[in-house]
Amino acid sequence: MAATSNPFHASEPRPDRRKGRLQLLLVLLVALGPMILATSMYKFKFWVPDSRIYHGELIGNGQTRADLGVQSDEKRWQLLVSAPGSCEADCQQLVYLARQIQIGLGRDAGRASHALSSAQPLDAVYTAKLAREYPQLQRYPLDLPVFRKAVPGLDAPRLWIVDPHGNLVLRYGAEVNGKDLLNDLRHLLKLSNIG
C-alpha cells in the first residue's frame, strides 16, 4: 500500500526552533537583566554615583534615639542636640540652630520639634535663658554609658535628625551650615508621609 501524500501537510511552514529560542532568551533578558545589573552594581560597587544630596552624615545602621541613651516618645521629626559633656558654645549654637531650622520650615514647622539631651546639668544662667527664649525646647537626660557604647569616641555635641519612629537619620557637627541642614530636613519631609 503506497503512502498517500497529504497536500495540506506539505504547504504548512515548519516552525523555526532557533527563532523561538531567541525570542524566549530576549524576553528573559528584558525581565531579569535589570535585576542582575542592579545586584551586580550593589555588590561590586560599579557605576555607583559619587554625589549625594544630603549634607550630614547618614546613619544607616538602624540606630534609634533610645540607642543613644535618650528616652522620648516624640512622634514628629525631631532636631535633637546631644551634649555628652557640658553644653558650652558649640552645644548652645546647635540648640539655637535647631530652633531656627524648625521656624524656617514655615508651614511644616508643626511636623518637627527641637530638643536637647545633656549628660550634665546645665548652668543656671543657660537654664533660665532656655526657659525664657526656647519655650518649646524639649529636654531629656542623656544616658552617657549608653551614648558612648552607641557612638564611641564622639564627645563633641551633635545635632541629629530623628524620624517619627525614633530612627536616627542624619548627624551634623557644630560646623554645619544652617541652610544645608534646612534643605536636608525639607527634603526628608517632602519624601516622607509620616510625621
Beta strands in 84-166 (DSSP E): 112-118, 138-141, 158-162
The confidence score (pLDDT) of residue 37 equals 87
CA-based nearest residue to 118, from 148, 90, 84, 94: 84
Which positions of the chain have pLDDT values less than 50? Answer: none
Give 74-103 pLDDT, tens digit per residue. 999 999 999 999 999 999 999 999 999 999
* Domains recognised in the chain with CATH numbers: 19-48 (no CATH), 57-191 (3.40.30.10)
Taking the C-alpha atoms of residue 43 and residue 175, their distance in angstroms, rounded to an integer, is 34
Which pTM value belongs to this model? 0.74
The confidence score (pLDDT) of residue 3 equals 54
Q: Which residue has the cell 555635641?
A: 157
Cβ atoms of residues 106 and 189 within 8 Å: no
Residue 107 neighbours by CB under 8 Å, 6+ apart: none
